Amino acid sequence: MLNNIGIPGLLLIAVVVLVLFGRGKVSSLMGEVGKGINAFKKGVKEETEELDKVSDDAVDVTPKEKDKV
């Protein structure tokens, strides 16, 4: 069903949303969506860096330390 929307359908949906909610409401909503996306990307980046740091620490075991364990 959603495969057949196309550009004209998307434009029609955008116009209807704009008429129903007004320019100010749509603008503030898009700003909040943008902030949410940025926060998500930042969280993913921080988690990836933390996992890389943990995996690097786990790899730094020398053979002498390994034999002691």
- pLDDT at 54 (0 to 100): 81
- pLDDT at 32 (0 to 100): 94
pLDDT tens across 24-53, in order?
898 898 999 999 999 999 999 999 988 888
Give every CB contact of residue 13 below 8 A, 6+ residues apart in sequence: 5
The pLDDT-based confidence of 62 (bands split at 50, 70, 90) is low
Read off φ and ψ for residue 42, nearest 5 degrees: -65, -40
Task: Please give the DSSP secondary-structure letter assigned to residue 61.
Answer: -
The pLDDT-based confidence of 67 (bands split at 50, 70, 90) is low
Average pLDDT score over residue span 7-20 = 91
